[in-house]
Amino acid sequence: MRLSRALRHGSQGYADFLHRHALDEVAARLGAVNRTFHRAIICTAAPHDAAEIIMATGRIRQVIRMAPPGTPETAGAERILDMERPDLPEEELDLFISLFDLAFVNDLPGALQAIRRALKPDGLFLGVLPAGDSFQELRAAWALADSELDGEPALRVAPFCSLEQLGSLLQIAGFALPVTDTERLTVRHADALSLMQEMRAMGWSNPLRNRPRKPVTRQRLALAAARLETAFSDPDGRIHTTIELCHLAGWAPHESQQKPAAPGSADVHLGEALSACRLPSERK
């Protein structure tokens, strides 16, 4: 199930909200970079005006809007880019932006390597994808429901990479100066079914091959919804859900970039530096 399903359900609003939130954050970060990017790609299923929003930063001279497979023509994309089989030119881009299209790629290390190869030396990659504790409340509710009915939990909500794993993948892909940080959002829904419907609309249903094959009966669905609403309802009756967005940044290597100091080249021993940071009463 692909993220581009979000556009087919765009009237529900939530999918577009999440994309726009991530895009605004990327635009803010890009605006803080003191350089001009001549040729860029942004790959995302939504929003349709993503290229215009990025161009408004004043940091890019040309941007090509691409979208994952299955995206409707009304999405405004110039072409389709399947990150399972990325067809990208080598060393032709100054900037590559990815919004959520890497979330469920089977070969994430390979996709990141393809992006790095597409960048010119000192080119920049910026990406956003769900990570870590995203939808932990829904995961817990389904685990409780399955345990009550079958005696053990089942994998009904796809797991997400941790911040540490994503940082390691950037390094493995060959990016220089990799940076990862997370942003925790709390999104509220009227009820459990609204949350589940919007997850399907975003294309974030469980894509794993070893997911449970049993049809979800009304009894199972009702039990999971009840557990979610009991444990994670706010005083006004709406349920809250955690979404952890991971922001990725990395540069294609270039000789002008900062290099880490060689081991043993420090002028001050670590013990002396730590001692200087202690309060007078703590020093011996």
Give the Cβ contact number of residue 212 at 10 Å: 16
Q: Given this model, what pLDDT does residue 215 score?
A: 73
Q: 26 pLDDT exceeds 80?
A: yes
Residue 139: HSE in the Cβ half-sphere, 13 Å Cα cutoff: 14
Q: Would you say how long the chain is, in residues?
A: 284
pLDDT, one tens digit per residue, over 150-188 is: 888 888 887 788 999 999 999 999 999 999 999 999 989
* Residue 4 vs residues 16, 45, 49, 74: alpha-carbon distances, Å: 11, 5, 15, 12
Closest CA to 196 of 131, 135, 125, 110: 135
Q: Return d(Cα 78, Cα 18) in angstroms, integer.
A: 22
Q: 139 pLDDT exceeds 50?
A: yes
Q: Given this model, what pLDDT does residue 276 score?
A: 64
Q: Which residue has the higher pLDDT, 99 or 272?
A: 99
Q: Given this model, what pLDDT does residue 133 score?
A: 87
Q: Which residues contact 60 (CB under 8 A, 6 or more apart)?
A: 30, 36, 37, 38, 40, 54, 95
Question: Is residue 243 within 8 Å of residue 135, measured between CB atoms?
Answer: yes
Q: Taking residues 8-28, report their average pLDDT.
A: 72
Q: Given this model, what pLDDT does residue 86 score?
A: 87
pLDDT, one tens digit per residue, over 29-45 is: 998 888 999 999 999 88
Q: Return d(Cα 178, Cα 64) in angstroms, integer.
A: 24
Q: Taking residues 258-272, report their average pLDDT.
A: 65
Q: What is the DSSP string of 104-152?
A: T-TTHHHHHHHHHHHEEEEEEEEEEEE-TTTTHHHHHHHHHHHHHHHSS
β-partners of residue 269 are none
Number of helices and strands in the chain (H, E): 9, 7
Q: Taking residues 211-239, report their average pLDDT.
A: 87
- Residue with structure tokens 């100054």? 94
pLDDT, one tens digit per residue, over 53-78 is: 999 999 999 999 988 876 654 456 67
Break the chain into its structural domains and give their ranges. Answer: 5-133+159-190+242-277
Q: Taking residues 82-90, report their average pLDDT.
A: 87
pLDDT, one tens digit per residue, over 87-137 is: 888 999 999 999 998 987 889 999 999 999 999 999 999 999 999 889 999
β-partners of residue 41 are 64, 96
12 confidence band (pLDDT: 50, 70, 90): very low
Q: 261 pLDDT exceeds 70?
A: no
Q: What is the DSSP string of 178-220?
A: EEEEEEEEEEEESSHHHHHHHHHHTT-S---TTS--S---HHH
Residue 21: HSE in the Cβ half-sphere, 13 Å Cα cutoff: 18
CATH superfamily of 5-133+159-190+242-277: Vaccinia Virus protein VP39 (3.40.50.150)
Of the chain, the percentage scoring pLDDT greater than 90 comes to 44
